[in-house]
Amino acid sequence: MAVRPRPGLFVAGISLPLALSLVLVAAPARAALTCGDIPDLTTFFFQKHITAHQLDDAIRRRTIETYVKRLDPQRVLFLEDERAELESSLPSLFLETASGDCSRLRRLHQDVIGRNREVEGFVRGFVARDDYSLDDGVRLQLDPDDRGSPANKDERDELLRTLVHFQISNYLEAGETLEEGKRRLVHRYELLTKRATERTREDLYSSFLDAFAGALDPHSSYLSPHVWEDFQIQMELSLEGIGVALSERDGYAVVENVIPGGATDRLKVLEPGDRIIAVADEGKDPVDIIDMALRDVVRLIRGRKGTEVQLTILRQGDKPKRFNVSIQRDKIDLEQQAAKLRIETVERDGKTLKLGVLELPSFYGGDRDPAKRLGSRDVRRLLSKVKREELDGLLLDLSRNGGGLLEDAVTISGFFVREGGIVAVRDGSERNRVLPDPDAHLLYGGPLVVLTSRVSASASEILAGALKDYHRAVVVGDDHTFGKGTVQSLFPLRPGLGALKVTTGLFFRPGGTSTQHEGVAADVAMPSLFATDEFGERALSHSLRAPSIPPFVANGASGDGPDSWKPVTQEVVEALAERSRARQEASEFFAEVRAELAKRAEDDGIVELAELIAERAENGVGETDEPGLAAGNASAPVPKSASKDDEELSPQAKEALDVLADWVQLSR
């Protein structure tokens, strides 16, 4: 299998992970993935991966655990001893596929079809009973891993009955009669069986390869031809939809990120961590999407601009919330993703300070055409305005920035320092390549605060980490950022095979530490609802640990002369943190956020159906005046910690602005 490189983009973002594009060339070309391709592709993963270079027992075990979990995400198909037997016997698949034998995968597939039929039959019989009625006293552990597999058939049947009650309640909440809800629920399980039956051999091999990739780290994957096609559409930013990045977790479609400028972002009703449990296209019945393949969920949600889709959302918290939201599909407004500057005034000691807020939702662009938008060009222009307006300080808002172009992150970092290395990239051979500030110009040397959150990831962590290590800025926000410090490379395969996405590098800050896992810690911490153990790189299965490297902080970063800047001292940071703590303790908003975080920390993940029904009754049934919400829905039930409103700054941004004003005052 030969490899031919071709030029590509080097990207550090979550939503745009393309780095170096390579093409695998093999003859003759085949139209579909075969069992014989699996050994070659697993070998290629090992050749390119940053840390995993050979098959060992840990990778075998993680692959099989991931594969079985995807076969049975809700843990209703296999009993505890059956699952254990699978996980102990299936590692031999690697030896079998090496000799071109995938018969065990095909036999397992037939077994799964039979088990789906058995579950379908149980549900059909249960809801057909004359004495069936909704039991609102049932409780469900949402995380299948926490509840485990049933020990015996009686436990399995009890779990299925509980799931049925929750699913029926969804239909009743949507306004269906009990009989209609039962009919639709049976149809849902018929569809699950039908999907299992229709899986092709190529689907089986794709699933096994993707489970293997996921066992290496959470960002490596095998992109089947269909997934690869969807990925290319997203890369071209031509997708019409609701502007939400989704992931699959425990059989649920989970909101990972609300894309700035999208239709959902404008409504301000969804947030990361929300679980989508049903989708209803305009004029059609809702479709229960639990256990549905993510690509099928995306296709249900995606649609033509101007049409509407209704989502049923389950949100965890002190009291779990279930509500519907109707969203009109639209193209992402690129203007809303672009950098923006607003000027705010803050009073300190009888003086009015003029402070700038530069919001950067992503590192966008990639085209050097001067007529097209590029993040670094926009930021350069806005910093010129900061200088013309003679602002007293600048707040750089990265709190919604999930990443983007590495090159842009390096360039923008250089606007605030005179010279020096910005980030180092380590490859699989443990070579470190330092990317320096590309020019010796300092565009802004005044007081600088960087606002971050757990949403801030990848390229935004490179910018925040560099400014912190050079003591150029005060970092304010969640305890730390997301913690994604890995580089993914895309390797398109021959036609009909899709592509490989492989983690090929690690990022390191000028101080020598990596942003991987740890992220960038805040100098002045303030809470948001994303500051939980479930949100961040370290919460992902098989996430990589990173070593440290020798520091590469440059001595001349602050420059000299009238445009130079003074490094932030620890004494200044402590003084700013103390003032901020006093304001936060007096703030009702931050008290609510801390109380909610404390409740979530104690949350055992168990949902009581009676609570969901009671909440629906409490919120009432009927029309609501709130934009985007359908009849009978709960409004957004928690304080918004990372929302952005064009008319008003978020409470976190206001506090960061106060920290900046304190710094300006102290510096005088």
Active site residues: 458, 469, 484
The 10 Å Cβ neighbour count of residue 658 is 19
Alpha-carbon distances of 124 from 71, 130, 185, 188, rounded to whole Å = 22, 12, 9, 11
Tokens of 551: 């520091």
* Cα distance between residue 114 and residue 169, in whole Å: 27
Cα–chain center distance at 233: 18
Considering Cα of 62, then 66, then 67, then 69, what sign does the dihedral take? positive
Of 176, 335, 318, the closest CA to residue 604 belongs to 318
Alpha-carbon distance of 236 to 246, in angstroms, equals 18
Among 449, 453, 382, smallest CA distance to 657 is for 449
Helices 178-198 & 153-173 angle (0-180, nearest 10): 120
Backbone angles phi, psi at 305, to 5 degrees: -55, 135
Instruction: Quote the CA–CA distance of 55 and 68 in Å, as a whole number.
Output: 19
Q: Is the peptide bond between 28 and the residue preceding it cis, with omega within 30 degrees of 0? A: yes
d(CA 37, CA 317): 45
Closest CA to 597 of 275, 318, 243: 318
Name the pairing type of β-strands 448-452 and 474-477: parallel
CA 314 to chain centre: 17
